[in-house]
Chain A
Amino acid sequence: MDIRFEEVGYTYQQGTPFQSRALHDINLSIKGGSFTALVGHTGSGKSTVLQHLNALKKPTTGQVTIGDRVITNYSENKGLKTLRKRVGIVFQFPEAQLFEETVGKDIAFGPKNFGLSEEEAIERAKELLPLVGLDESFLERSPFDLSGGQMRRVAIAGVLAMNPEVLVLDEPTAGLDPQGRKDIMDMFYRLYKEQGLTIVLVTHQMDDVAEYADHMIVLEQGTVRREGNPRELFKEAGWLSSMQLGVPSTVRFAHELEEKLQWTFDPLPLTTDELAAQMVEKLGNKVGDDR
Chain B
Amino acid sequence: MMEKLIFGRYIPGQSFIHRLDPRAKLMGAIWFIIIIFLANNWLTYVALTVFVLTAVKLSGINSRFFINGIKPLIWLILFTVILQVLFTSGQTIWFRMGPIVISQEGMLNGVFIFMRFVLIIFMSTILTLTTMPLSLTDAIEYLLRPLNAIKVPVHEIALMLSIALRFVPTLMDETEKIMNAQRARGIDFGEGNIYQQMKSIVPLLIPLFVSSFNRAEELATAMEARGYKGGEGRTKYRQLNWQQNDTVVMIAFVVLSILLISLRT
Q: Contacts A12-B3, A17-B65, A91-B181 hold; do A99 and B186 have CB atoms under 8 A apart?
A: no
Per-residue B-contact encoding for A49-87, CB less than 8 Å = 1, 0 else: 001001010000000000000000000000001001100
B203 touches A114 (CB 8 A): no
Specify the chain B residue showing the minimal Cβ separation from A111. Answer: B186
B203 touches A158 (CB 8 A): no
Residue from A16, A56, A114 within 8 A of B180 (CB atoms):
A56
B210 at interface by CB-CB < 8 Å: yes
Residues of B within 8 Å of A249, CB to CB, are none
B3 touches A99 (CB 8 A): no
Residues of B within 8 Å of A94, CB to CB, are 181
Residues of A within 8 Å of B202, CB to CB, are 99
B203 touches A17 (CB 8 A): no
A16 touches B186 (CB 8 A): no
Within 8 A of A (CB), among B1-17: 3-4, 6, 9
B6 touches A16 (CB 8 A): yes
Measured between alpha carbons, how far is A94 from B183 in the docked complex, in Å? Answer: 13
Within 8 A of B (CB), among A80-112: 81, 84-85, 88-89, 91-92, 94, 96-99, 109-110
Residue from B64, B185, B206, B210 within 8 A of A17 (CB atoms):
B64
Within 8 A of A (CB), among B174-211: 174, 177-178, 180-188, 202-203, 206-207, 210-211
Per-residue B-contact encoding for A106-127, CB less than 8 Å = 1, 0 else: 0001100110000000000000
* B216 nearest CB across to chain A (Å): 15
Measured between alpha carbons, how far is A99 from B179 in the docked complex, in Å? Answer: 12
Question: Which DSSP category, helix, strand, loop or mixed, fits chain B's interface?
Answer: helix
Residue from A13, A56, A98 within 8 A of B183 (CB atoms):
A56
Specify the chain B residue showing the minimal Cβ separation from A101. Answer: B206
A144 at interface by CB-CB < 8 Å: yes
B62 at interface by CB-CB < 8 Å: yes
Measured between alpha carbons, how far is A98 from B206 in the docked complex, in Å? Answer: 8
B3 touches A91 (CB 8 A): no
Residues of A within 8 Å of B203, CB to CB, are 97, 99, 109
* B154 nearest CB across to chain A (Å): 34
Specify the chain B residue showing the minimal Cβ separation from A88. Answer: B184
Q: Contacts A96-B174, A97-B207, A99-B202 hold; do A17 and B62 have CB atoms under 8 A apart?
A: yes
A159 touches B185 (CB 8 A): yes
Measured between alpha carbons, how far is A91 from B176 in the docked complex, in Å? Answer: 12
A109 touches B185 (CB 8 A): yes
* B249 nearest CB across to chain A (Å): 26
Measured between alpha carbons, how far is A144 from B214 in the docked complex, in Å? Answer: 11
Q: Contacts A16-B3, A51-B180, A91-B177 hold; do A97 and B185 have CB atoms under 8 A apart?
A: yes
A162 touches B186 (CB 8 A): yes
Q: Footprint of A on B, CB under 8 Å? A: 3-4, 6, 9, 62, 64-65, 68, 174, 177-178, 180-188, 202-203, 206-207, 210-211
Known: A54-B184, A84-B184, A109-B203. 6 other contacts (CB 8 A): A18-B9, A94-B181, A96-B178, A96-B181, A97-B185, A99-B203
Interface pairs A-B: 4 shortest CB-CB? A113-B186, A99-B206, A97-B181, A110-B185
